[in-house]
Structure 1
């Protein structure tokens, strides 16, 4: 179905600044949503292949922030900051992501969690301030491949939890 009205104009004005990544995860939506809400989960799967994450501060609430460092496989550290701008359990999380609070190059992401059969379709729609920042993220930082790898790691983590029967 084509977008109409306001949605069509929003889509057309952001298309060249967007990265959209989606994946079906074999687990209930509530569990997939929860994997984004607690550090004990995030630290197990967040980031592309070979990356680990160290959390410095975490408060999952609208206006709260997650300050963390992603450690690359080559030893490079990437300082990151996320602020939650909307939380609608277990349907949607909207966030602002940059290197630090008030980062002028921060981008916005909307994560939607949709039931799909026995699983969950997770869609991450990210809009950058400019086309150039989007292109830099895709080309220099491999944001598309990294996002896909991150969702693959999430899927493996959820499969492990479901298999063990541990949901809390």
Structure 2
């Protein structure tokens, strides 16, 4: 079993990750570009969608420029800083989740409470919602991954990020 070479598997996985991240990043940047061109989307829904596309672009950029090369080249230097990138990737993912919830609530209110929609999702309120979920995502992940002795890192023998094996991480992983 020791003579089994998996380096080609890592290169294939890295190439697939790179391709998928490039497609994802291209799509999200297209959404950002499109939203800025369309005056009909200069509203609450457009702002929430723009915020989501930006955070998704950040997430995909990290996969494109860090995760895929890390898997492909298996560089010790890249693996040694994986906890930092794990933190940023998970933070972007957390913000993205909050963004999905905000967009869902926005659409729900637009359909089921159209008379209150305009006041609930005014320009000022929408900006406050976006700022809140960005700050909340950053704060939650900072507390969970930096202050609680828990990190998300990429072991060299795997293709996935895993949490550090500590009692605090078991609480965070719930």
Q: TM-score if structure 2 supplies the norm length? A: 0.29
Higher RCO structure (Cα 8 Å, ≥6 apart): 1
Q: TM-score if structure 1 supplies the norm length? A: 0.30
Largest Rg, 1 or 2: 2
